[in-house]
Structure 1
Amino acid sequence: MADVNLFVSSANATTERRISPGWTIAQLKAKLEPICGVPPVWQQLELFVGAAQEGVRIEAADEDRTTVGAFELVPYARLHVADLRPASEQLDLTDVAAVDKFELTDAEYAARSDTVLAWKRQQKLGRFAAPGAAHFAAEAAAGGVVVGARCRTGDRRGTVRYVGRVPELPRAPVPEDDDIWVGVEFDEPVGRGDGRAGGRRVYACRPSHGSFLRPGAVEIGDFAEEDPFASDDEL
């Protein structure tokens, strides 16, 4: 006889299983124990077909010789496994507080070499990654080096037009700088370009008014634009 798919239910779970009519009742109960957690000697099996309110008990005087095929196995009927043990001996698998758990302290977990944390540490990912451009851009912003801020470098004054990486420019002399550049548009034509780098427009700027500088070379402050025609003698 061909195998039959049945829904196996118990107090703790419901699952679909393929049942062979050639199994004895004893064999069936042994196979059900890992599914429902009820020892064979305490199992009471009932087969419910369709919407039937009463089931047909699968039992026999000699369960080692009686096969499951002796009962009418309708595909996708429900085979319910009742636990006949005293309530005090039954396992309540829905009570997670009663289940022993494997626990580690944060220090014990950090010391292990077979964890996701250890893998991230080895691969330098997440919080173990080297600070990147976004980190140093944030640091620059924390220091006030943000687009639109007034600034000066030496005696040249201007406005910050760009903060970030510029792949076309030389790499940072020290890793900590992480290639962050500050694009400045000076008030006067004392710059070295117009906001382009390697032919690519990085920020809009008037010709000869732009320069790329490291954040440390830029001083942020309330630096008003100077009047080149003003006289020191004027009151």
Structure 2
Amino acid sequence: GSSGSSGAAEVGDDFLGDFVVGERVWVNGVKPGVVQYLGETQFAPGQWAGVVLDDPVGKNDGAVGGVRYFECPALQGIFTRPSKLTRQPSGPSSG
């Protein structure tokens, strides 16, 4: 029996990677923010990342459908698939 999976893992929409709460990320490579929630939600199946954006260009304040996942100013919270997160911005000139 082999225990512990280090190496090839299936990467899909539900893959959290090794992101952690409090880590600085970019949503879609263009919206800087900080991870505040990682895990399952009530509003959709699978794994989601809740991010507090630097600017009020999000969708919520950390609550969706009456369920609070984290706290932040209005419109600075956004939920996205972890696969949409990057650790650095992707500018137009990135190859």
| TM-score relative to the length of structure 1 | 0.30
1:205 paired with 2:72, answer yes
TM superposition shift of 1:208: 0.6
Aligned residues: 76
Alignment partner of 1:216: what SS?
Answer: helix
1:160 paired with 2:35, answer yes
TM superposition shift of 1:202: 0.8
Query: RMSD of the TM alignment (CA)?
Result: 2.0
1:196 pairs, out of 39, 63, 72, with: 63
Contact in 2 for aligned 1:144/1:220 (Cα 8 Å): no
Where do 5+ consecutive residues of structure 1 fail to align? 1-136, 172-178, 224-235
TM superposition shift of 1:196: 0.1
TM superposition shift of 1:152: 0.5
Q: Distance in 2 between matches of 1:200 and 1:170?
A: 12
Which 4+ stretches in 1 moved above 3 angstroms?
Answer: none
Alignment partner of 1:157: what SS?
Answer: strand
Q: Which protein has greater RCO, CA pairs closer than 8 Å, 6+ apart?
A: 2
Where do 5+ consecutive residues of structure 2 fail to align? 1-13, 90-95
| Counterpart residue number, 2:48 | 181
Name the structure with the higher helix share: 1
Q: Work out the percentage of aligned pairs sharing the same amino acid.
A: 35
| TM-score relative to the length of structure 2 | 0.71
1:151 paired with 2:13, answer no
Contact in 2 for aligned 1:150/1:158 (Cα 8 Å): yes
Name the structure with the higher strand share: 2
